[in-house]
Amino acid sequence: MKQRFTRREFIKLSGAGVAGLTGVTGISRLAKNSTPERREQTGLSLNAHDHGDAGTLGQVDHEANGFDPHEILTDFDYGEVTEENGRVVREWRITAVDREFEIEPGLFSPGWVYGSATSAASRRAGHLVGQCPGPTMRCVEGELLRVHFTNANVHPYTIHFHGIDSAMMDGVPGVGRGVLNPGESFTYEFTAKPFGCHLYHCHAFPLKRHIHKGLYGAFIVDPDPEKHTGQEKEIAKTRHHQYPENGDFNEMVMVMNGFDTNFDGDNEVYAANSIAFAYMNQPIQIRANQRQRLYLINLTEFDPINSMHIHANFFDYYDHGTTLTPTLKTVDTIMQCQAQRGILEFSFADFEPGLFMFHAHQSEFAELGWMGFFEVVRQQENNHATFKNNSTKSPAQMVVGFSAPAVARRSHSGLHHPEPAQFL
């Protein structure tokens, strides 16, 4: 009889956390390759008595993946915008594809994923790129949305949006249009509401397998300031990507997820935006004088909860993002079940420059990949990163450290949008 190991037994036998999953042991790449100054700042060391540090040996090939977690962090896919009878219409072309991608050096996940013609990855490549998590679709409260979906895989799929729509557009088996078989297409059409931090995912069965394989993404609806009054109207302006007040915030998206690499119904790798230790190996650089807004979504399968904790700081939390005032104030850890989401707002103003850790506060998750750093810099020290300012830059230019050119055109609403990628 073949012996089976539980996840925890497997990790214990491997002796090196995620590094053990790919047959490597010893001190992490981060500790080994970092300078003495870097190790002193992060607390990483090469002491012979240490049990090893978090991180991975080697690097994930983001170019081969076709997507980069640092690009996903700030890539908001605004689709294509037109007007009909005075109303803004926002459209996306989403395709489900089958593709393998690297989640940790040498470790690949056989995924089912969504791709968008107007995502940064697809525009940069010049053709559709499937990615995990899927593109972050962003719109404005009250707009008419059309999502043209094509199933280019070999299994039946849907797109189910966490929003308010009709039964016909709900994207569940046996209701309305139901599942799309391979080669079929359908257009989901509904009004963007309520405003907030939402998500979408495939609702075909078996549901847990379709979500775990990567068929999900963030769906953000900005509040319309004209629908609010007083102080709430001013706050809504900071959440609306077309208002200059939004430029006061550095906005990021993290989708917490996990990967069952041996198909035993337990995850062996955890991450934010799919790549283990991505933001530890390459910390997220942020300005001390700019406020931070993080859209956080949990789409981890097989575990009942996930969480995020930030070090040496506290944040205000907006559950589901459907309020303009915090639902929790001055906390440093938030817990979410699957599909729960919210907005974190925080600042490193008056902090000294340096590395500030964040991670899941389930220690196992952190040690298996869900851990990273914010690197806080003063503005004059930042000479190599491009920081987002929604009021002046196109979506492609809003990616930290990403400067690939985008061909701009003007939509009927007067906004600039890059040309979508062509399907090859």
List pLDDT tens digits, range 328-366: 999 999 999 999 999 999 999 999 999 999 999 999 999
> How far is the CA of 149 from the CAs of 15, 131, 136, 249, in angstroms?
44, 15, 15, 32
Architecture of the domain defined by 62-407: Sandwich (2.60)
Q: What is the pLDDT of residues 23-52, one digit of tens each?
A: 332 223 343 334 334 444 444 544 545 555
Distance CA 130, CA 201 (A): 14
pLDDT for 57 equals: 84
Strand partners for 297: 255, 341
pLDDT-derived band at 56 (thresholds 50, 70, 90) equals confident
Strand partners for 128: none
CB of 137 closer than 8 Å to CB of 91 = no
DSSP 99-144: EEEEEETTEEEEEEEEEETTSHHHHHHTS--EESSEEEEEEETT-E
Q: What is the largest CA-CA distance in the chain?
A: 71
Q: What is the pLDDT of residues 405-420, one digit of tens each?
A: 232 322 333 343 444 4
pLDDT for 33 equals: 39
- pTM for the structure as a whole: 0.83
**Averaged pLDDT score across all residues of the chain:** 84
Does residue 267 carry a pLDDT above 70?
yes
- Classified as helix, coil or strand, 217 is strand
pLDDT-derived band at 400 (thresholds 50, 70, 90) equals very low
Does residue 4 carry a pLDDT above 60?
no
CA-nearest of 343, 317, 118, 116 to 220 is 343
Q: What is the pLDDT of residues 176-219, one digit of tens each?
A: 999 999 999 999 999 999 999 999 999 999 999 999 999 999 99
CB of 421 closer than 8 Å to CB of 404 = no
Does residue 387 carry a pLDDT above 70?
no
pLDDT for 379 equals: 72
Q: What is the pLDDT of residues 273-313, one digit of tens each?
A: 999 999 999 999 999 999 999 999 999 999 999 999 999 99
pLDDT for 55 equals: 76
pLDDT for 54 equals: 67
pLDDT for 28 equals: 36
